[in-house]
């Protein structure tokens, strides 16, 4: 039986690292959307998820080992999702401001109801587009 | 990770670290595959960390602030710019 040559040792170490990382990652993904109970938490979870996958997408599109078809899919999904996600964030900001105003009696419940309906609309619009980006980046 | 992918991965790795029975092109493919897997693992680690932070923040019940919104928007804008600009760079010439 031949012994491993010295130039193969780094590869084995890399292999062990990759396997260890895969084992560690299996089954331990946090889910902010499942944790969200209110509409503002859901909107925050959705935009935060969008941003997280966008940041990883930005790394992936610069990686030489990644095929161009994958990079193109990420670019397309991000281009479509970004304006809707930004509108979602604006609606969330508006909702939080009105909620704070209501707490000090500076606005009415009607205004909060309008802001809530608006936020719900943007959550509905953004969710499938953000899921498309998640899929393009390689999430479930 | 599903089983066919794991099988292909192990096949590729075994090909690289074993003896010289593989052709150079197959070794290069295996090395590229390993590099790609490395990127996937790094990406999954980053996503996991970010999603855990978000989940912890939601579970804390802490109110969202203007600074939270600014930070989210700035990070998204930066990533968006990088992603979109990556499509305008000419690919390296192939042999």
Digit-coded pLDDT (tens) for A20-68: 555 554 555 789 999 999 999 999 999 999 999 999 999 999 988 889 9
Mean pLDDT of B43-63: 91
**Encoding tokens for residue B32?**
């590229």
Instruction: Report CB contact under 8 Å: B19, A2.
Output: yes
Domain extents in chain B: 3-85
The shortest CB-CB distance from B80 to any of A28, A71, A82 is to A82
Answer for the pair B16, A11: CB distance below 8 angstroms, yes or no. Answer: yes
Task: Tell me which of B51, B90, B93 to substitute to probe the interface with A (most A C-beta atoms closer than 10 Å).
Answer: B51
The shortest CB-CB distance from A29 to any of B46, B51, B75 is to B51
Q: Specify the higher pLDDT residue, B81 or A29.
A: B81
Residues of A in contact with B86 (CB under 8 A): 58, 61-62, 71, 75
Instruction: Report CB contact under 8 Å: B75, A51.
Output: yes
Distance from CA of B24 to the nearest CA of A (A): 15
Tell if the pTM clears 0.80, that is, is over it.
Answer: no
Residues of B in contact with A138 (CB under 8 A): 40, 43-44
Helix residue ranges, H only, chain A: 9-25, 32-35, 39-60, 68-103, 109-137
Mean pLDDT of B14-28: 65
Chain mean pLDDT for chain A: 86
Domain extents in chain A: 30-137
| CA–CA gap between residue B18 and residue A15 (Å, rounded) | 13
pLDDT score at B17: 56
- Is A3 a residue whose pLDDT tops 50? no
| CA–CA gap between residue B22 and residue B37 (Å, rounded) | 20
- The rounded percent of chain B whose pLDDT value lies above 90 is 39
The shortest CB-CB distance from B86 to any of A18, A62, A86 is to A62
Q: Would you give the end-to-end CA distance of chain A in angstroms?
A: 43
| CA–CA gap between residue A8 and residue B30 (Å, rounded) | 14
pLDDT score at B41: 79
Residues of B in contact with A14 (CB under 8 A): 34, 38
């Amino acid at each position: 039986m031949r012994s491993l040559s010295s130039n193969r040792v780094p590869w084995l170490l890399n292999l062990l690292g990759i396997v260890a990382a895969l084992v560690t990652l299996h089954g331990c993904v946090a889910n902010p959307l499942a944790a969200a109970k209110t509409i503002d938490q859901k909107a925050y979870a959705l935009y935060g998820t969008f941003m997280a996958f966008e940041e990883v997408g930005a790394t992936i599109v610069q990686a030489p080992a990644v095929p161009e078809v994958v990079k193109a899919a990420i670019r397309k999904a991000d281009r479509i999702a970004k304006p809707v996600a930004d509108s979602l964030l604006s609606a969330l900001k508006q909702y939080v401001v009105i909620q704070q105003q209501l707490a000090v009696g500076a606005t009415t419940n009607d205004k909060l109801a309008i802001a809530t309906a608006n936020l719900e609309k943007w959550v509905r619009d953004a969710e499938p587009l953000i899921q498309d980006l998640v899929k393009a980046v390689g999430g479930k | 990770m599903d089983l066919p992918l794991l099988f292909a991965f192990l096949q590729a790795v075994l090909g690289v670290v074993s003896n010289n029975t593989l052709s150079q092109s197959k070794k290069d493919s295996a090395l590229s595959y390993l590099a790609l897997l490395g990127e996937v693992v790094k990406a999954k680690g980053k996503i996991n960390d970010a999603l855990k932070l978000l989940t912890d923040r939601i579970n804390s019940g802490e109110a969202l602030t203007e600074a939270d919104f600014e930070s989210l928007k700035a990070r998204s804008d930066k990533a968006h710019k990088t992603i979109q600009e990556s499509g305008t760079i000419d690919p390296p010439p192939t042999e």
